[in-house]
Amino acid sequence: MSRLDIKTRDRAQTVVEGLYQDLERRIIASPPGLCPVDMASSFLKLCHAQTCGKCVPCRVGLGQLQHLLDDVLDLSDDVDLDIIQLIEKTAKTIRDSADCAIGTEAANMVLRGLQGFREDYIEHVTNHRCVASIQNLKQPVPCIALCPAEVDVPGYISLVLEGKCDDAVRLIRKDNPFPIVCALICEHPCEARCRRNLIDAPINIRGMKRYAVDHCGKVAIPERMPDTGKKVAIIGGGPSGLSAAYFLSLMGHHVTVFEKRTHLGGMLRYGIPSYRLPRERLQEDIDAILSAGVEVKTDYDIGSGDSIQKLRDDYDAVYISIGAHTHKTIGIEGEYARGVISAVEILRSMGDDTMPDFKDKQVVVIGGGNVAMDVARTAKRLGAKKVSIVYRRRRQDMTALPEEIEGAIAEGCELLDLKAPARIKSTKDGDVECLFVKPQIAGEADKAGRPRPMDAQAEEECIPCQIIISAIGQATVTEHFEQYGIPINRGNIVATRSSGIESIPGIFAGGDCVSGPSTVINAVAAGKVAAANIDNYLGYHHVIECDVEIPAPRHGDHPPCARVEMKERLPGERGGDFGEIEKGMTEEEAQYEALRCLRCDHYGLGVFKGGRVKKW
């Protein structure tokens, strides 16, 4: 035997490594509605397999915990509620006395579960089943369940596969009147738990939608239902307001949208740069929505409590969807210097076609969200010599989509993470001279699991610049509404889950002004929910449906293969203009990708419960 060996992995080890990856993807693909106690028990079994076997709490205790959890779950075993105390005691023993993290962390998972879903433990012991709220989620089609607007994803993918892009758009519009906008800029929560993760990678769902809207031609909207004579006022013509307007108008109500600015679109126009969402594409969706018979009043400011009352008097229902269009202050010394501007202001003026001049300037952007990336890339396009993005946490803690961060870097923006803005130094004339930042280190995790930034105890650094753009979040202007008596909490309007304002019948609210700054699809969903409940409030139950026939799935195996990614114009080519960056799929790519869809609407529980919602 040699004195030392090079470490090599044997075949079994290699295969197990592969299985670990399969398991990771499998956990990603976990749909909503799984039994949490069952999951805890399954995790425990995995943890126990990892024990080295040395110390008692881990070797024996984790096994005993498993038996106890199985007793809780077992339909044919009679146990009483004392078992929950025993589980807790045992888990605490393991947490406090196991020799290493293998044992302590396994026990911690059980304890977190006991806190987080104790009522499910109790329901299992007393009634041998999950609490009703979990039962009701029963393994839905993942992409549909995770889409806030519940768009029929497998339906439109199958239509794309059959080349029926116009039908695909019709089907999407049943739940979402912004198919083009979402094809271009949706954050696609639908992809997160795609069952295709079990095999390789999620379907490029947004790419499929993009192919549909790029190849559908002009698709007329459904016929308007008979006139009801009811009038609905919508305050704010953003994605939420226009979605509500579209559905309510289709239902036969008279809808008037009051928009403060010159153009419709809200944040879609005044918040998202045109290289991501070209104006003419946005207009196509808006035109389709307006073709439902929506009346529009632009440059119309609902300025005071009185005019809100007037709307209430003149209309049968009011929907407030004013969005979140004002910026938050940075809160550091020197922030009122000339040259410090908010992202919201820049994007808004660009929405009205006024371009700021950043030629040869050094620009610093503060923030780590999508808006920060948008303004950084916009500044680059407006001729900035240098753009630096300053963020107090790490790159991986940014809330911006990874592809947005990559895009910004590819276009030459510089990313300075773990730098907390400390103060702004200005010239004698009051112009920005530089931003001082304090280096940070990533500290202990907060409740959401993101490490908190901590002062690195290092020297302040100076970033010379002439422009500082703050992109640290937006807020809603709620003053008039508050005066009128609409409840406000932490700067947002307080509305119920069904979009109503408690105590003020007939007034509804939704979108960013209720949720705080969020995504377009959340705004669309809020508009859809509001439309349904306003319709009911007006005494109707109009049904929105779509008679498009969904093709049967093609029979075939599903060997692992790559996911089709959309291509972009090269950074060097695109960085200087506001033309669209992304390129849609080719026909071959679209066919290939559509065929990857596992059709969870037909296979699995989708064919039985939790499948297609044909109407709402």
Partner 1 sequence: MVKLIIDSKNVTVPEGTTILDAAEKAGIHIPHLCYLKDINEIGACRVCIVEKKGMDKLITACNNEVEQGMEIFTNSPKVRATRKANVELILSDHDCMCATCVRSGNCSLQKIANDLGIVEIPYKMIAEKNRWDKNFPLIRDASKCIKCMRCIQICDKVQDLQVWNVSGSGYRTTVGVMQNLKIQDANCSLCGQCITHCPVGALRERDDVGRMFDALADPDKITIVQVAPAVRTSWGEGIGLYKEEATLGRLVSALRCMGFDYIYDTTYTADLTIMEEGSEFLERFQNRDKYKWPMFTSCCPGWVRFVKSQYPDMVENLSSAKSPQQMFGAITKTYIADKLGISPEKIFAVSIMPCVAKKYECDVENLSDAGFGQDVDLVLTTREIDRMIRADHIKADDLKEEEFDDMFGVSTGAGVIFGATGGVMEAALRSAYFLLTKKNPDPESFRRVRGLDGWKEAVFEIEGTAIHVAVASGLGNTRKLIEAIRNDEVKYDFVEIMACPGGCAGGGGQPIHDNVEMAESRGKILYGLDRTANLRFSHENPSIQKTYEEFLEKPLSEKSHHLLHTNVNDWILNK
List interacting residues with partner 1 (CB under 8 A). 33-35, 38, 73, 75-76, 123, 127-130, 132, 134-135, 138-139, 552-557, 602-603, 607-609
Tell me 566's DSSP state: P
Shortest separation between residue 353's beta carbon and partner 1, angstroms: 52
* Closer residue to partner 1 (CB): 53 or 559: 559
Q: What angle do CA 519, 525, 530 make, to 5 degrees?
A: 130
Shortest separation between residue 230's beta carbon and partner 1, angstroms: 18
Residue 3's SS3 state is: coil
Alpha carbon distance 92, 104 (integer Å): 9
* Closer residue to partner 1 (CB): 32 or 439: 32
Long-range contacts at 121-127 (CB < 8 A, ≥ 24 apart): 121/37, 121/72, 121/84, 121/87, 122/81, 122/84, 124/37, 124/72, 124/73, 125/72, 125/79, 125/80, 125/81, 125/83, 125/84, 126/81
Alpha carbon distance 147, 193 (integer Å): 11
Shortest separation between residue 119's beta carbon and partner 1, angstroms: 12
Shortest separation between residue 36's beta carbon and partner 1, angstroms: 9
Shortest separation between residue 559's beta carbon and partner 1, angstroms: 9
* Closer residue to partner 1 (CB): 297 or 554: 554
Beta carbons of 558 and 195 less than 8 angstroms apart: no
* Closer residue to partner 1 (CB): 127 or 496: 127
Residue 427's SS3 state is: coil
Decide: residue 426, CB within 10 A, 0-12 exposed, 13-18 middle, 19+ buried.
Answer: middle
- Token pair belonging to 585: 């799929």
Please name the helix (run of DSSP H) or strand (run of DSSP E) that holds residue 571, with its range, or none: helix 571-574
Shortest separation between residue 292's beta carbon and partner 1, angstroms: 26
Shortest separation between residue 124's beta carbon and partner 1, angstroms: 9
Please name the helix (run of DSSP H) or strand (run of DSSP E) that holds residue 434, with its range, or none: strand 432-445
Shortest separation between residue 598's beta carbon and partner 1, angstroms: 12
Shortest separation between residue 570's beta carbon and partner 1, angstroms: 41
Alpha carbon distance 289, 177 (integer Å): 7
Shortest separation between residue 8's beta carbon and partner 1, angstroms: 33
Shortest separation between residue 557's beta carbon and partner 1, angstroms: 5
* Closer residue to partner 1 (CB): 76 or 354: 76
Q: Find, among 261, 116, 236, the residue nearest to 478 by Cα.
A: 236
Shortest separation between residue 99's beta carbon and partner 1, angstroms: 32
* Closer residue to partner 1 (CB): 140 or 511: 140
* Closer residue to partner 1 (CB): 294 or 598: 598
* Closer residue to partner 1 (CB): 50 or 126: 126
Q: How far is CA 422 from the centre of its chain?
A: 31
- Indicate the residue type of 521: I
* Closer residue to partner 1 (CB): 108 or 139: 139
* Closer residue to partner 1 (CB): 458 or 552: 552
Alpha carbon distance 243, 175 (integer Å): 9
Q: How far is CA 527 from the centre of its chain?
A: 16
Count of positions (residues) in the chain: 616
- Token pair belonging to 266: 């809200």
- Which residue in this structure is represented by tokens 């409940």? 533
Residue 233 pairs in a beta bridge with 256, 318
Shortest separation between residue 34's beta carbon and partner 1, angstroms: 6
* Closer residue to partner 1 (CB): 24 or 74: 74
* Phi, psi for residue 82 in degrees, rounded to 5: -55, -25
Alpha carbon distance 313, 119 (integer Å): 46
- Cα-Cα-Cα-Cα dihedral sign, residues 29, 514, 272, 471: negative
* Closer residue to partner 1 (CB): 449 or 556: 556
Beta carbons of 150 and 175 less than 8 angstroms apart: yes
Shortest separation between residue 607's beta carbon and partner 1, angstroms: 5
* Closer residue to partner 1 (CB): 159 or 322: 159
Q: How many CA atoms lie within 13 A of 337 on its CB side?
A: 27
Beta carbons of 172 and 142 less than 8 angstroms apart: no
- Token pair belonging to 429: 């004339």
Alpha carbon distance 379, 362 (integer Å): 9
- Indicate the residue type of 51: T
* Closer residue to partner 1 (CB): 74 or 352: 74
Mark out the alpha helices in 352-427 (DSSP H runs). 370-381, 402-410
